[in-house]
Chain A
Amino acid sequence: MRKATGLAAALALTTSFSVISSAQAASTLESVQERGYLQCGVNTGLPGFSSPDDKGNWKGMDVDTCRAVAAATLGDADKVKFIPLTAKERFTALQSGEIDVLSRNTTWTLTRDSSLGLNFAGVNYYDGQGFLVSKNLGVKSALELDGATVCIQAGTTSELNLADYFRQHKMEYQPVVFDTSDQTISGFEAGRCDMLTSDQSQLYALRIKLKKPDSAMVLPEVISKEPLGPVVRQGDDQWFNIVKWSLFAQLNAEEMGLTSANIDSQKKSDNPAVGRFIGKEGIKGKGLGLADDWAYQIVKQVGNYGEIFERNVGEGSPLKIARGINALWNQGGIQYAPPIR
């Protein structure tokens, strides 16, 4: 008896959980709008980029990229189903249609862009490998670190970049290798090494784990390029454009000074650029196949790029990452978006 019902239960589970999704032949935009929500692949937990808060809501830079796409396509930033993915699953999930957008701190490289059947729609965060040093050391630049001991996580590309950088500058270093990032930071705290190296966004998260976060600082040098951005399937150019311009809209909004707080009052503005942005004139939503107020919805519900940055990783967050190269092009950074016109 036990046996029979066990079988029946397993069968019942199988049949009722399997969902027949709408036909995939439709364009991604159509199937998202028909479904009523966006399926977005995010990291299972990366400070400042994607993590659940106390209430179980997903928060972070990558999460807000998803929310912006949902605001543009569905008019509601909350209509997102977040699908947490591990590093190994992420591309399959996109290729197999389980998700519509992959927004999971994925580095844009030639190999990935050209051989996986995927397209990178832009860069929502320019990351790069950097150095964390103790303030007591009195060092201002990585070039003063000849002969330093370096705490590093084993088997990462950071290890290779580090070797390249020091050889290129004809400097010596002593690696102290650890297994996990938690061990690396406790090694640094215990004084096993002069500095710690990892991707800059991670350095700030690691710094919080120190007993006295203020005792360490991140050096300005960035020794590798890690442009992180959302990814879509190849072959659906309309969808590719939508995700791309969801990013551009955030940047344009910051450049024009439009924020979630003031965009409503700007609705009556005479500035033609603002008019084009909020969909009163110009091409509006036609080119993308979206509602005319698609960009307005992004800024209203999610915010402009500056707001998103400060809220998740910048001064408004515990991470306190400086804008650096992620500042707008006219403020010393490299974030640049084509105009909306």
Chain B
Amino acid sequence: MIVNENPVAARPAPASNRGIWGWMRQKLFSSPANTVLTVVTGWLLYIGLTPVISWSFIEADWFGSDRSACDGGACWVFITARIEQFIYGFYPEDLRWRVDLVFLQTGLLLLWLMPQSMPGKKWGVIYALSIFPISSFFLLSGGLGLEMVDTHKWGGLMLTLVLALVGIVAALPFGVLLALGRRSEMPVIRFFCTTFIEVWRGVPLITVLFMASVMLPLFVPEEVVFDKLVRALIGIVMFQSAYMAEVVRGGLQAIPRGQYEAAAAMGLGYWKMMRLVILPQALKMVIPGIVNTFIALFKDTSLVLIIGLFDLLAIVQAGLADPKWLGFAIEGYVFAGFVFWFFCFSMSRYSQSLEKRLNTGHKA
């Protein structure tokens, strides 16, 4: 009797199941019904996508200085000719290096702080929260020997980013404070925070912005002129921190009572308990909710166009009213949509990697 003590070596799957053909056989043509579905879907994609691709790339025109450079297809000339305006708004041309410097700092900080293993992260955080906001403020608006630039000249992508960044950076801490306040045992604080949240959350952002831009100037004495951008910023921060508060409160409520009691049993006071035990767990848990709010905030910034601030969308629209460029609405809106999508998608990807790193999804 022959006994083969060695197991037979594993053979590769049959050729018909391997490679691109195998994949297609399994995934696309596994049954008559699926074959029909594949063919129909493929055909729909073909008739749907061909004109889009040919319009936006193949027949498109990219460079030039006016509409005569365009013939058929998308006229991206409208974007490329005005791209500086879309980025800087009405910021004086010879001072745009100051905006670039702020962009550069922001980019470097993101590179420094976002990846997991970077040296000196602590210093990065300190820089981001002290020198960066102050230097950006003076670079953008002037002062300290730099020429002043009125905020009504700010616009385009730069304004969108300013609104979004200030909103995000301010709304999170306010939101945490409000959430803690709403769960506080002190009735006055609880009452105040609950009222604040419910009032701001119950009012549409458009109403808030209208109030800030139309009503407020009538209430304050005539000699006090509040900058329109500041009014809008305060409105956005108030509004978003109310939303943020409810997201954070969700996290706080998900922490088991035992954690509070254990922290108290160790002799930690309220703030230490929150800082060391409760908030790190709670915030980690609500990352998706927080990022969701950030993304909503980023897109909501374009609402400032109804109060005459020229964020990216508004400046594209204003460009469309230039008699030289009438009739390029589709190109303008596609461009604005793409930029917004790019930023929101980046935020979403970052939050996903953060969740993975903190391992929040697989809690026992």
Is chain B a partner of chain A in the same complex?
yes
Which residue numbers of A lie inside 8 Å of B, CB to CB?
1-7, 9-10, 12-14, 16-24, 43-48, 50-56, 59, 81, 83-86, 88-89, 92-93, 95-98, 182, 205, 208-210, 312-313, 317-319
Determine if A5 and B129 form an interchain contact, defined as CB atoms under 8 angstroms apart.
yes
B226 interface residue per 8 A CB criterion: yes
Give the residues from 219 to 263 in chain B that come closer than 8 angstroms, CB to CB, to chain A.
222-227, 229-230, 233-234, 237
Interface size counted on chain B using CB atoms at 8 A: 61
**Residue from the list B129, B229, B237, B315 in contact with A1, Cβ < 8 A:** B129
A324 and B326 CA atoms in complex are apart in Å by: 23
Known: A83-B152, A98-B225, A319-B323. A13 touches B230 (CB 8 A): yes
Complex contacts, A205 vs chain B, CB 8 Å: 323, 326
A114 and B65 CA atoms in complex are apart in Å by: 47
Determine if A54 and B323 form an interchain contact, defined as CB atoms under 8 angstroms apart.
no
A317 and B325 CA atoms in complex are apart in Å by: 11
B57-70 CB mask vs A (1 if < 8 Å, else 0) is 00000000100000
Determine if A9 and B169 form an interchain contact, defined as CB atoms under 8 angstroms apart.
yes
Determine if B321 and A3 form an interchain contact, defined as CB atoms under 8 angstroms apart.
no
- How many Å from the CB of A207 to the closest CB on chain B? 9
A288 and B65 CA atoms in complex are apart in Å by: 44
Determine if B213 and A89 form an interchain contact, defined as CB atoms under 8 angstroms apart.
yes
Known: A51-B318, A54-B85. A19 touches B166 (CB 8 A): no
A89 and B218 CA atoms in complex are apart in Å by: 12
- How many Å from the CB of B248 to the closest CB on chain A? 12
Determine if B307 and A86 form an interchain contact, defined as CB atoms under 8 angstroms apart.
yes
Give the residues from 153 to 192 in chain B that come closer than 8 angstroms, CB to CB, to chain A.
166, 169-170, 172-174, 176-177
Determine if B141 and A16 form an interchain contact, defined as CB atoms under 8 angstroms apart.
yes
Determine if B225 and A19 form an interchain contact, defined as CB atoms under 8 angstroms apart.
yes
Complex contacts, A86 vs chain B, CB 8 Å: 306-308
Complex contacts, B130 vs chain A, CB 8 Å: 5
Give the residues from 270 to 324 in chain B that come closer than 8 angstroms, CB to CB, to chain A.
305-308, 310, 314-315, 317-324
Output the nearest chain A residue to B72 by Cβ-Cβ distance: A211
Determine if B229 and A53 form an interchain contact, defined as CB atoms under 8 angstroms apart.
no
Determine if B308 and A84 form an interchain contact, defined as CB atoms under 8 angstroms apart.
yes
A48 and B129 CA atoms in complex are apart in Å by: 45
* Of B141, B226, B237, B327, most A-chain CB atoms within 10 Å: B327
**Residue from the list B89, B150, B308 in contact with A85, Cβ < 8 A:** B308
Determine if A89 and B173 form an interchain contact, defined as CB atoms under 8 angstroms apart.
no
B143 interface residue per 8 A CB criterion: yes
A206 and B110 CA atoms in complex are apart in Å by: 44
**Residue from the list A46, A54, A83 in contact with B81, Cβ < 8 A:** A54
Complex contacts, B305 vs chain A, CB 8 Å: 44
A22 and B224 CA atoms in complex are apart in Å by: 9
Complex contacts, B322 vs chain A, CB 8 Å: 45, 47, 51-54, 59
Please name 6 further chain A to chain B contacts, defined as beta carbons within 8 Å, in addition to the given A2-B125, A13-B166, sorted by A numbering. A24-B222, A48-B323, A56-B93, A182-B329, A318-B323, A319-B323
* Nearest 3 interchain pairs by C-beta: A3-B173, A45-B321, A209-B327
Determine if B169 and A21 form an interchain contact, defined as CB atoms under 8 angstroms apart.
no
A222 and B358 CA atoms in complex are apart in Å by: 68
- How many Å from the CB of A93 to the closest CB on chain B? 8
Determine if A17 and B133 form an interchain contact, defined as CB atoms under 8 angstroms apart.
no
Output the nearest chain A residue to B82 by Cβ-Cβ distance: A54
- How many Å from the CB of A219 to the closest CB on chain B? 21
Known: A44-B308, A95-B218. A12 touches B134 (CB 8 A): yes
Complex contacts, B319 vs chain A, CB 8 Å: 45, 51-52
Output the nearest chain B residue to A83 by Cβ-Cβ distance: B152
B345 interface residue per 8 A CB criterion: no
